[in-house]
Amino acid sequence: MSHIFMVDIMKNKNIKHITLVTLLLSTHCVFSQTDNLSIDSYMSKAQNAVKLSLNDLAIQYYKSAIETNPMMAEAYFELGCLYTKMEHYIQAITNLNMALEINPNHADAHERLAYVYTENEDYELAYQHAQKAIELNPLSPSAYATMGIYYCIKKEHINAITWCKKALEIDPKYGRGYNCLGFINFYKGNEAEAYSCFQKAIKYSPKDIDGYYNLAVMYRKKENYEAAISTCKKGLAIDPNSIKLYENMGVAYRERKLYDKAAQCYEKILELDSTSVKAYNQLGINHTRKGLYEKAISYYEKSIAIDSKHAPSYRNLADTYFLKDELEKALVTYHKAIELDPDDSYSYCQLAEIFGKKSNKRKQISHYKTAAKMGNRRAQDWLQHNGHSW
């Protein structure tokens, strides 16, 4: 209805005010029904595309739904879930946060964001959203599992296990609950229990690759690289586009000094996500190990250009400067890594090494003491060997 037509109606005193209101409401309802039908159609097509693993098509439909109604929280939420499934976490975070801007009490969005922030290693934000998810939905097993991971990272293992058990009380066949419990047990040194938990995760969630991923990480940390690679391949048979499985497999190949195979894994990740910070970071490590320092630096710089707060990229860049004996650049870059990750005891040790090379004994000891207080064994051994306490 045009503005001029509305004015003409108002001028006609034979038409009562109530008639005008009724006409306006009727017109609004017609337009609203048309819009809703269009949105429902886009959402339905998007959901069907997801079921068929036609992810690019699904993304287009979700974006069309959002263009039709920019205030539809559910469209942002489902798009965020799809990006989560694709392991495109930056895009997932953006869309899930948009859903929460529209509906701050969207319990499922808080739950999913808690999971995504955990995967993205942003544990404080994961904790905040898990707390909110539990407040809104006390029967959310995923949020309880996230709390378990958070307390494990904080080295509060008893508390961590309690939270995971709460998740499994809600759903005794909840795969992620077993994955998180396995993660905690592995970091406690209970490898047999961790293995059992990861096997249960695979049993109860056979289409979820997280159990395979965690098993592969465990094998890799035990330096059983062949088992790690084999386990990653089993997971990739279920999800051929899993970024984290390719990353894990690439690290295992690199530890075996099979640098070309490792590079193929990281390049596959960039085919799936051209903005993958971790892929560029891992390619940097690959080239650092090969002694190709300038090439390595270019990859770390690409990683940082995408995410200026990615502490591991700064740390690895600093390592490369250190190996090149560019100590001033290394000094600045280690400080940046610590600024982003204050619990980075490794970078404190490296700073101590630099100050040792600069014959600054006072700062060398000070930085080793800081690392030692964080539990860094390398720092503790150095201080003990040189007659210092911490």
Residue type, 103: N
Cα-based distances in Å from 132 to 60, 100, 213, 319, 388:
30, 12, 28, 39, 45
**Residue 216, pLDDT score:** 97
pLDDT grade for 28, boundaries at 50, 70 and 90: very low
Residues 6+ apart with CB under 8 A from 141: 167, 168, 170, 171, 174, 176, 177
**Residue 30, pLDDT score:** 33
Per-residue pLDDT, averaged over 341-362, amounts to 97
DSSP code of 240?
Answer: T
With beta carbons less than 8 A apart as the criterion, state whether 126 and 149 touch: yes
DSSP-derived 3-state class of residue 386? coil
Burial of 162 (0-12, 13-18, 19+ CB in 10 A): middle
Return the minimum-mean-pLDDT range out of 10-14, 129-133, 303-307: 10-14
Tokens describing residue 305: 């250009």
pLDDT grade for 37, boundaries at 50, 70 and 90: low
Q: By percentage, how much of the chain surpasses pLDDT 90?
A: 87
- Domains (range + CATH), the chain: 29-138 (1.25.40.10), 143-208 (1.25.40.10)
**Residue 38, pLDDT score:** 83
Q: Tens digits of per-residue pLDDT, 150-205?
A: 999 998 999 999 999 999 999 999 999 999 999 999 989 999 999 999 999 999 99
Q: Which tops the pLDDT comparison, 356 or 19?
A: 356
Element (H, E) at 114: helix 107-119
Tokens describing residue 103: 């509906």
Q: Which tops the pLDDT comparison, 39 or 252?
A: 252
With beta carbons less than 8 A apart as the criterion, state whether 75 and 58 touch: no
DSSP string, 271-299: HH-TT-HHHHHHHHHHHHHTT-HHHHHHH
**What whole-number distance in Å separates Cα of residue 386 and Cα of residue 322?**
23
Question: What are φ and ψ of residue 140, in 5° steps?
Answer: -95, 100
With beta carbons less than 8 A apart as the criterion, state whether 259 and 290 touch: yes
**Residue 120, pLDDT score:** 87
Q: Which tops the pLDDT comparison, 336 or 275?
A: 336
Per-residue pLDDT, averaged over 373-383, amounts to 96
Give this prediction's pTM.
Answer: 0.79
Element (H, E) at 374: none
pLDDT at 14 over 60: no
- Tokens 């009562």 belong to 16
- Tokens 């075996």 belong to 256
**What whole-number distance in Å separates Cα of residue 122 and Cα of residue 308?**
14
